[in-house]
Chain A
Amino acid sequence: MSGAQQPAGAALEWRDVTIGYRRGDGGELVAVDGVSLSVPRGGTVGLAGESGCGKSTMAMSVLRLLPRSARITGSILVGGEDVATMSWGRLRAVRWTEAAIVFQGAMHSLNPVRTVRRQIREALELHSSPATRTPAQRDARVAELLALVDLPAARAEAYPHELSGGQKQRVMIAMALACDPEVIIADEPTTALDVVVQAQVLDVLSGLVRDRGLTLVMISHDLSVLAAVCERIVVMRHGRIVEEGPSEQILGSPRHEHTRELAAAFPVIGDPGSRRVVGRAAVTRLRARESGAPEEDGGPAAGVPAAPDGAAATHAEDTATPLLEVRDLVVDFRSRGQHVRAVDHVSLRCRAGEIVALVGQSGSGKTTLARTVLGLQRPTSGQVLHRGVPLPTARAALKAYRRAVQFVLQDPSASLNPKHTVYEAVAEGLRIHRLPGDERERVAAALTQAELTPPEQFFARIPQELSGGQRQRVVIAGALALEPSFLVADEPVASLDASVRGEILALLLRLQRELGLGALVITHDLGLAWNIADRVVVMHQGRLVEDGPVEQVLLDPQHDYTRTLLDVVPSRLGARL
């Protein structure tokens, strides 16, 4: 941070930059609005914000990689030189040697039909230095780069599809380092990755920054991820910077309301203040903390009042037969002639009115388990019981069961037919089950329960006219219209922006409280479990490895795997590094 104070020494600087995109109708969409930001040499800065806040546009503007429709004013300086005035030749020379980008979604950022070696070597050939004159030297450099990101040299011969997601992201990092750039810009480098893999990639990245004194600009919607790697965090909203400061301060005592919303989405596990406190309540709590007011006094100011440990307590242990029970369930898949056991002798009970969080990495079999519970997937062996009765196998007989147990999917934009209006989407279940009574009233009631009021205003809307949170509410309303006794929610907030996430979780909690609606919530996010669940079930490679009340499992994990999961929660990463 030594040179941080002199602007001249800044590795990267945006000076009053405004970037707009021409729209088809002649108007302009302003993505970045008068931003000034300076990143000192060796500095690590995190750029946070929700989707559409302009953070990726900022990243792309550094190497003039924006589409032609983009109009830039202000100046962007890389190593003190304005990229806007560079000639094409100069710009090409600057690209990758002065600044390199680790792109979002390595899956698509690597050319699928070229080997890793050729892709890395291409950068070396374009910007050849004395050390990489000959092909042999270049190959040696490729091996060296792969070693830097903990990949064996032999992986150079691999095609992207032969690599796992984490490996690909590491290849991207190796490629970014190829020409020893001053600045590395990492645009959501871990977004699509599994939590454990995310931790590995962040490890590699922060290790490199530390060892090689790189200047890093990292972009993420996840404050805790940024905090794990960066010294400072800049929070953006609607193209403007709303807050800037050291990571601990941004995460711990945010000043701006928006930062609070972001921060509230990533609770600290073990912090009793965030236990079953979500949405507005959580934001209020953070505001209170920042202003020094007592935390308990979050109050029912706005949104959902917390119901600390209420639900768990009212539902006494094993009062009757569990609402849902899974007995020794096995699900096998056949793919390319190979058998894969997705669910491996799992037994699970969910009581009425109880929220159970099913936690695990991607590929742990948790989604398959959910689908089997819903009768969408036929088990290889074992049983699913509803109120003690085994699930029928015949489709017609399943219909009644499906009414009782409803499904909320991960991506609300995809789980609504884009052509159906809100009314049709909610009424779909009613029509399938031919429920008696006035359809319109039922639809209105369900929408009201899902807090879409007044319901009439939403009837004619189609999903693309709704925000992400509203869409998820429509999905929930569609489920509620059938008056189910239980919900299975698969990553219900994973694809939502942080500020919306809390509201949906709050809705689930309210439904539990007011309707006694239990839920099996599937998630990779332990923080979410801490937020809302009564009980946590940890799944690993198709098996349940731990099962118990939230506090017990998360604060005193018994199984190694649970501990690993807890270790890689981003909010703890920073502490670990």
Chain B
Amino acid sequence: MSVTETAAALEEERPRGSTLPRYLALKGGGALVSLAMVVVLGFFSFRVLPGDPAINMTRGRRVSAEEVERLRAEMGLDDPLPLQFLSYLGDLFRGDLGVSYVYRREVTELIAERLAPTLLLTGTAALISVVLGLWLGQKSAWRRGSLFDKTQTGLALVFWSVPTFWLGLILLLVFAGGLGWFPTGGMVTPGTDPTGLARVLDVAHHLVLPVLTMVAVVYAQYLMVMRASVLEEMTSDYLTTARAKGLREDLVRTRHAVPNALLPTVTLIFLTIGGLVGGAVTVETVFSWPGLGYLTFQGLSAPDLPLLQGTFVVFSSIVIVMNFVAELVYRVLDPRLKAS
């Protein structure tokens, strides 16, 4: 989502207050429908592929024709499509995403191993970019037209225009290769198995460059949205009221303008999570970060379709769940949405 698109979306209407169960049902239902669509898309997009999954499974390995036949039956490939879909659903409910072609392991297992590093990376990056973006955004808006504003929006837009992988590579070359400040890849120093604080510090050390890359590319949108949002609020009458009451200018901003400007921003922040998570694919690949994005990239090279299908379903589900959480958070934050 582009910076200004999000800004335009600020004007979107919010649902009026409704009772909590109804709200939950509405939002939860929506999330469930989205999840269902992910599941269906995950199934059918990988079924339209040319090529026989049984052949793919056995590629490069020595197998007899009977073995292929047996595998095909086992995978239910000879069943009619609806039946296949049902068994796929059943498997999904049991948490079974199939077996990777390349790794010969349960996709669920592979994903489970990689989930935590990805959450750590994207979570840290999201937190920093949101805090940084919002903070710079409100400041820029407040000082609109100042050198600060120009510098900040200008920088943000430049970073926003940089391809993530390219920026990552250059950061890697400069700070890891050239200056040697940070490790060139991975999550922990291999060959060491630090514990406690040492481990935290080691991981943090490895985290710096990937997080920096992600933050640089995504914070712009938070900055622009927050800036737009605060500018919108800046002409609000209640700020005049606050000033008339004798409030200092910085209090007018922090007590009145920012809390109000934050509200529409919250939804947009959560909407951008999809983009952030998507960015993990390239950043993790550049920095060899052992996460889901890296796994996706590994799945791409063959391509390993069950693995890709699995990462797609998991990535999308994470984002959908986060959005659902966002709706709940929003409800808590905005008194106007509470049951009246």
Residues of A within 8 A of B (CB): 60, 63, 65, 91-97, 100-101, 103-105, 108-115, 122-123, 126-127, 159, 161-162, 172, 175, 336-337
| A95 with B243, Cβ < 8 A, contacts A111-B256, A113-B334, A113-B335 known | yes
Q: Which of A91, A97, A108 contacts B237 (CB under 8 A)? A: A108
B44: CB under 8 A from chain A?
Answer: no
Q: Which of A92, A103, A108, A113 contacts B246 (CB under 8 A)? A: A92
Taking CB atoms and an 8 Å cut-off, the chain B residues in 21-39 that contact chain A are 22
Closest CB-CB distance, B139 to chain A, in whole Å?
Answer: 18
| A336 with B18, Cβ < 8 A, contacts A95-B245, A108-B237, A111-B256 known | yes
A115, closest chain B residue (CB): B335
Taking CB atoms and an 8 Å cut-off, the chain B residues in 322-336 that contact chain A are 333-336
Chain B residues whose CB sits within 8 angstroms of the CB of A115 once the complex forms: 335
B198: CB under 8 A from chain A?
Answer: no
Chain B residues whose CB sits within 8 angstroms of the CB of A94 once the complex forms: 246
Contact B244 A112 (CB under 8 A): no
Chain B residues whose CB sits within 8 angstroms of the CB of A97 once the complex forms: 246
Q: In the complex the two chains form, what is the Cα distance from A162 to B339 in whole Å?
A: 10
Closest CB-CB distance, B32 to chain A, in whole Å?
Answer: 21
Q: Which of A91, A112, A159, A336 contacts B16 (CB under 8 A)? A: A336
B303: CB under 8 A from chain A?
Answer: no
The 4 tightest CB contacts between A and B, nearest first, are A95-B246, A108-B237, A92-B246, A109-B237
Interface string of B60-86 (1 = CB under 8 A from A): 000000000000000000000000000
Contact A111 B244 (CB under 8 A): no
A64, closest chain B residue (CB): B243
Chain B residues whose CB sits within 8 angstroms of the CB of A175 once the complex forms: 241, 245
| A109 with B256, Cβ < 8 A, contacts A123-B245, A336-B16 known | no
Chain A residues whose CB sits within 8 angstroms of the CB of B237 once the complex forms: 103-105, 108-109
Chain B residues whose CB sits within 8 angstroms of the CB of A92 once the complex forms: 246-248
Q: In the complex the two chains form, what is the Cα distance from A105 to B260 in whole Å?
A: 18
Chain A residues whose CB sits within 8 angstroms of the CB of B248 once the complex forms: 92
Q: In the complex the two chains form, what is the Cα distance from A112 to B337 in whole Å?
A: 11
Contact A65 B259 (CB under 8 A): no
| A111 with B260, Cβ < 8 A, contacts A159-B335, A161-B336, A162-B340 known | yes
Chain A residues whose CB sits within 8 angstroms of the CB of B263 once the complex forms: 113
B146: CB under 8 A from chain A?
Answer: no
Q: In the complex the two chains form, what is the Cα distance from A103 to B17 in whole Å?
A: 26
Q: In the complex the two chains form, what is the Cα distance from A100 to B263 in whole Å?
A: 29
Q: In the complex the two chains form, what is the Cα distance from A101 to B238 in whole Å?
A: 12
B242: CB under 8 A from chain A?
Answer: yes
Contact A122 B247 (CB under 8 A): yes
Q: In the complex the two chains form, what is the Cα distance from A65 to B246 in whole Å?
A: 10
Q: In the complex the two chains form, what is the Cα distance from A63 to B247 in whole Å?
A: 12
Candidate in A96, A127, A175 with the most chain B CB atoms within 10 angstroms: A96
Residues of B within 8 A of A (CB): 16-18, 22, 236-238, 240-248, 255-256, 259-260, 263, 333-336, 340
Chain A residues whose CB sits within 8 angstroms of the CB of B246 once the complex forms: 91-97, 123, 126-127
Since A109-B237, A109-B240 are in contact, a sample of 11 more A-B pairs with Cβ atoms closer than 8 Å, ordered by chain A residue number, is: A65-B244, A95-B243, A95-B245, A97-B246, A104-B237, A105-B237, A111-B241, A112-B336, A113-B336, A159-B336, A336-B16
Contact A111 B242 (CB under 8 A): yes
| A111 with B238, Cβ < 8 A, contacts A92-B246, A93-B246, A159-B335 known | yes
Can you show 23 pairs from A to B with CB atoms below 8 A apart? A65-B240, A91-B246, A93-B246, A97-B246, A101-B244, A103-B237, A104-B237, A108-B237, A109-B240, A109-B241, A110-B238, A110-B241, A111-B256, A112-B336, A113-B259, A113-B336, A114-B256, A114-B259, A126-B246, A126-B247, A161-B335, A161-B340, A175-B241
Chain B residues whose CB sits within 8 angstroms of the CB of A101 once the complex forms: 241, 244
Contact A112 B245 (CB under 8 A): no
Q: In the complex the two chains form, what is the Cα distance from A96 to B244 in whole Å?
A: 6
Chain A residues whose CB sits within 8 angstroms of the CB of B333 once the complex forms: 113
Contact A63 B244 (CB under 8 A): yes
Q: In the complex the two chains form, what is the Cα distance from A236 to B133 in whole Å?
A: 47
Q: In the complex the two chains form, what is the Cα distance from A109 to B238 in whole Å?
A: 4
Contact A122 B238 (CB under 8 A): no
| A65 with B243, Cβ < 8 A, contacts A110-B238, A161-B336, A162-B340 known | yes
Closest CB-CB distance, B251 to chain A, in whole Å?
Answer: 9
Closest CB-CB distance, B250 to chain A, in whole Å?
Answer: 12
Contact B260 A112 (CB under 8 A): yes
Chain B residues whose CB sits within 8 angstroms of the CB of A162 once the complex forms: 340
Closest CB-CB distance, B29 to chain A, in whole Å?
Answer: 15
A99, closest chain B residue (CB): B244
Chain A residues whose CB sits within 8 angstroms of the CB of B238 once the complex forms: 108-112
Chain A residues whose CB sits within 8 angstroms of the CB of B18 once the complex forms: 336
Chain B residues whose CB sits within 8 angstroms of the CB of A96 once the complex forms: 244-246
Closest CB-CB distance, B255 to chain A, in whole Å?
Answer: 8
Candidate in B18, B238, B248, B259 with the most chain A CB atoms within 10 angstroms: B238
Q: In the complex the two chains form, what is the Cα distance from A104 to B256 in whole Å?
A: 19
Q: In the complex the two chains form, what is the Cα distance from A109 to B340 in whole Å?
A: 21
Closest CB-CB distance, A61 to chain B, in whole Å?
Answer: 12
Closest CB-CB distance, B115 to chain A, in whole Å?
Answer: 36
Chain B residues whose CB sits within 8 angstroms of the CB of A105 once the complex forms: 237
Chain B residues whose CB sits within 8 angstroms of the CB of A172 once the complex forms: 241
Q: In the complex the two chains form, what is the Cα distance from A175 to B240 in whole Å?
A: 14
Closest CB-CB distance, A180 to chain B, in whole Å?
Answer: 14
Closest CB-CB distance, B16 to chain A, in whole Å?
Answer: 7
Closest CB-CB distance, A396 to chain B, in whole Å?
Answer: 31
Q: In the complex the two chains form, what is the Cα distance from A103 to B242 in whole Å?
A: 11
Chain A residues whose CB sits within 8 angstroms of the CB of B243 once the complex forms: 63, 65, 95
Candidate in B17, B237, B263 with the most chain A CB atoms within 10 angstroms: B237
Closest CB-CB distance, B209 to chain A, in whole Å?
Answer: 38
B22, closest chain A residue (CB): A337
Closest CB-CB distance, A137 to chain B, in whole Å?
Answer: 18
Q: In the complex the two chains form, what is the Cα distance from A91 to B263 in whole Å?
A: 31
A67, closest chain B residue (CB): B235
Q: In the complex the two chains form, what is the Cα distance from A161 to B238 in whole Å?
A: 13
| A103 with B241, Cβ < 8 A, contacts A108-B236, A111-B260, A162-B340 known | yes
Candidate in A93, A161, A172, A337 with the most chain B CB atoms within 10 angstroms: A161
